A and B are shown apart, each in its own frame.
Chain A
Amino acid sequence: MRGAGFFDIPSDLQTSYLGLIGLHVEEALIPVAIGLAIALPLGQLCVRFSWLYAPVLWVTTVLYAIPSLAFFIFLIDYTGATRTTVMIPLTVYSLVLLVPSIVDGVRSVPQETMSAATAMGFGPVQRYLKVQLPIAVPAIVAGLRVAVASSISLVSIGALIGNQGALGNLLQDAILYHRSNLAMNSVVTTAVLAVLMDIALVLLRMALTPWMPRGGRAARRAARTAAVEPTARPALEDTTV
């Protein structure tokens, strides 16, 4: 195999270069998607019952502190050396990143906006779906960006439990077959993948939030004044009243 090309994947991985990429994306994104599906209702519960937020944060943070390898070894007894074993910890990790961003995002909706929605006859569900969630999108996407990037990098560790690491498997093969270009391939492809995913998420956020000030410095300043002006003024006023 010595001297084989950059994109020549050893046959023991039983897939092509593109196949590895597909596998990697799948193993990285499914956990984030499941994490999001759990984090959205969990985050909403934490907003409604604020006493819940501290313990939820505590539990998820403790779980985050468990090294992924320890997680895998623990899970192998139940789910075997499979992709599921890799994806369960990744799901838990993404929860830690997503719950706070959802809670912060939903909490960032101004009190006036919530009052206005209530006064216009929005029920709690409508208020959540039509007001809080859309306004929380930037914060949620910010959380997603971190979760996706970390997930993409962590998938590679799955290589340690029997070639379940997608692009990470190339690292082991690089050692096995003394092919440093495989290691290079793994690292570069993973990095490029992470960057592309990040760009996709930024584009997604821009598509979902045409209402956000963007572009030049002027737009940002406009947004800042719009946000600051109303709160800054009353203080000024109190002296005149």
Chain B
Amino acid sequence: MIQIESVTKRYPDGTTAVDDLSLEIPDGSITVLVGPSGCGKTTTLRMINRMVEPTSGRILLDGSDITGQPVNALRRSMGYVIQNAGLFQHRTIVDNIATVPRMLGWDRRRARDRARELMARVGLDEALARRYPYQLSGGQQQRVGVARALAADPPVLLMDEPFSAVDPIVRKSLQGELLRIQQELGKTIVFVTHDIDEAIRIGDMIAVMRTGGRLAQFAPPTELLSSPADAFVEDFLGTDRGIRRLSFFSSDGLELSKGPLVAVDADAEQVARSAAAGAPYLLLTDAEGKPLGWVAAQDAAGGADKVAVGRLLPFGRPFAAGRESLRDALDCAVLSPTGWAVAVDGEGKAVGVVSQETIGAAIRSAHARHEGAGGTDRDDFTKAGAAT
């Protein structure tokens, strides 16, 4: 655990970067420091590995003051990932990753073996090992940065806006990758970003900081979204926090109706049975059970086999039942021309459909459940969809 105790950083010119900050960063989880520029989040991060020394206050790592051990040993026990990766342009990828192990006295062979192992872990092709940084894309360089930070298996990982210099698509995949790696390794990660969406996506705990280096709120993302501490946090979260909070509710308990599912070769009698359930639309599925499209119940009365597949209404994007969140389910329902979302299993086969009304009811009951649990019970929340 990293304990930040009433830490203040004031520069000689009088500016206060961090003002009386106290935080307890739990082990084995991702804590995000987020805030507008000039809020002291990077300064806070850099005080943890003593690249910046606090003016007052202290920082404890597993109970002992970080000033108690040699600074370079402290730094080597913490991985550090930085914007633009900060790779050593004069070293090959494998040697970049092997840097800290080599400094810790590993022999070259062992360090390089370790580096190759990490390349695989962060999703880099082995063929890149002997390349130089300039030969890699920005996203690949950032992966190397993560691998390099992990090389000596440090318990703590400090990440300073690591993904903000790559394009949104690459960023999303890097975030997913980080969550996957974190699931495997369970590091104590302190992650700095100015992007609240990124914070909500990857953070287990989020510290929102305001200009002047003061802590505005420290809470799990779902609590942040449901009950922002003040107007600043609310403003910083943006206008759609209600919708975004839904990404923490699993679509697991969503009541799917199988009634409107009709095979593409169903005859009039089978269609009539499905239509009897009262759904205004039927979802035609192909021979494998994958969704084809919607058709109005009365248009298919003559049998699904008589309906021209080309004239079906598009079903939009389906959501993965149970694995994606209520936010995804709602999004699918909103996008669907019929107002019904299509739920599929891992193989893309339709397992049911669900109306906006049913999703709305599920949202209300999810809220009720979590308010009842005090809104902080982490076990109730899933990071559904976060790793996809």
Whether B134 sits at the interface, judged by CB under 8 Å, is: yes
Which residues in window 140-164 of B have CB below 8 A to A?
141, 145, 148, 158, 164
Answer whether A209 and B90 are a contact pair too, CB < 8 Å, given A115-B51, A226-B134.
yes
Whether B83 sits at the interface, judged by CB under 8 Å, is: yes
Whether B76 sits at the interface, judged by CB under 8 Å, is: yes
Whether B168 sits at the interface, judged by CB under 8 Å, is: yes
Whether A49 sits at the interface, judged by CB under 8 Å, is: no
Q: Is the CB of B83 within 8 A of A119?
A: no
**A122 to B148 CA separation, bound complex (whole angstroms):** 14
Count of A-B contacts judged by CB separation below 8 Å: 103
Chain B min CB distance to A233 (Å)? 5
Q: Is the CB of A120 within 8 A of B75?
A: yes
Chain A min CB distance to B163 (Å)? 10
* Binary A-proximity of B164-176 (CB < 8 A = 1, otherwise 0): 1111100000000
Whether B103 sits at the interface, judged by CB under 8 Å, is: yes
Chain B neighbourhood of A120, CB < 8 A: 75-76, 80, 99-100, 103, 148
Which residues in window 200-240 of B have CB below 8 A to A?
none
* Binary A-proximity of B127-142 (CB < 8 A = 1, otherwise 0): 0000011111110010
Chain B min CB distance to A122 (Å)? 8
Whether A222 sits at the interface, judged by CB under 8 Å, is: yes
Q: Is the CB of B76 within 8 A of A233?
A: no
Chain B neighbourhood of A116, CB < 8 A: 80, 82, 85-88, 145, 148
Whether B73 sits at the interface, judged by CB under 8 Å, is: yes
Identify which of B51, B83, B92 contacts A118 (C-beta below 8 A).
B51
Answer whether A113 and B87 are a contact pair too, CB < 8 Å, given A120-B100, A121-B76, A226-B133.
yes
**A230 to B140 CA separation, bound complex (whole angstroms):** 12
Q: Is the CB of A119 within 8 A of B80?
A: yes
**A237 to B170 CA separation, bound complex (whole angstroms):** 13
Answer whether A229 and B90 are a contact pair too, CB < 8 Å, given A120-B80, A121-B73.
no
Main SS class of interface, A: helix
**A135 to B74 CA separation, bound complex (whole angstroms):** 26
Chain B contact residue count (CB 8 A cutoff):
42
Q: A226's closest neighbor in chain B, by CB?
A: B134
Q: B166's closest neighbor in chain A, by CB?
A: A233
Chain A neighbourhood of B84, CB < 8 A: 110, 112, 230-231
Whether A197 sits at the interface, judged by CB under 8 Å, is: no
Q: Is the CB of A110 within 8 A of B90?
A: no
Answer whether A119 and B72 are a contact pair too, CB < 8 Å, given A113-B87, A233-B166.
no
Q: Is the CB of B85 within 8 A of A121?
A: no
Whether A67 sits at the interface, judged by CB under 8 Å, is: no
* Binary B-proximity of A218-241 (CB < 8 A = 1, otherwise 0): 000011001101110110010011
Identify which of A114, A121, A233 contacts B100 (C-beta below 8 A).
A121
Whether B365 sits at the interface, judged by CB under 8 Å, is: no
Chain A min CB distance to B39 (Å)? 14
* Binary A-proximity of B61-78 (CB < 8 A = 1, otherwise 0): 000000000011111101
Q: Is the CB of B90 within 8 A of A211?
A: yes
Chain B neighbourhood of A137, CB < 8 A: 90
Q: A113's closest neighbor in chain B, by CB?
A: B86
Answer whether A115 and B86 are a contact pair too, CB < 8 Å, given A120-B99, A120-B100.
yes
Identify which of A113, A114, A119, A237 contacts B158 (C-beta below 8 A).
A119
Q: A112's closest neighbor in chain B, by CB?
A: B86
**A175 to B79 CA separation, bound complex (whole angstroms):** 71
Whether B56 sits at the interface, judged by CB under 8 Å, is: no
Whether B195 sits at the interface, judged by CB under 8 Å, is: yes
Chain A min CB distance to B178 (Å)? 18
Identify which of B82, B133, B148, B164 contacts A237 (C-beta below 8 A).
B164
Q: Is the CB of B164 within 8 A of A234?
A: yes
Chain A neighbourhood of B49, CB < 8 A: 119
Whether A131 sits at the interface, judged by CB under 8 Å, is: yes
Q: Is the CB of B134 within 8 A of A121?
A: no
Q: Is the CB of A211 within 8 A of B134?
A: yes
Chain B min CB distance to A228 (Å)? 10
Chain B min CB distance to A179 (Å)? 51
Chain A min CB distance to B76 (Å)? 4
Whether A213 sits at the interface, judged by CB under 8 Å, is: yes
Identify which of B75, B88, B100, B138 contacts A230 (C-beta below 8 A).
B138
Q: Which of B87, B99, B168 has the most CB of A within 10 A?
A: B99
Whether A3 sits at the interface, judged by CB under 8 Å, is: no
Q: Which of A110, A116, A118, A123 has the most CB of B within 10 A?
A: A116
Chain B neighbourhood of A216, CB < 8 A: none
* Binary B-proximity of A84-115 (CB < 8 A = 1, otherwise 0): 00000000000000000000000000101111
Q: Is the CB of A115 within 8 A of B75?
A: no
Chain B neighbourhood of A213, CB < 8 A: 134-135
Whether B89 sits at the interface, judged by CB under 8 Å, is: yes
Q: A137's closest neighbor in chain B, by CB?
A: B90
Q: A114's closest neighbor in chain B, by CB?
A: B86
Other A-B contacts than A115-B51, A121-B100, 11 sampled, CB-CB below 8 A, are: A110-B86, A113-B86, A117-B88, A119-B51, A123-B72, A135-B88, A211-B89, A211-B90, A213-B135, A226-B138, A237-B164
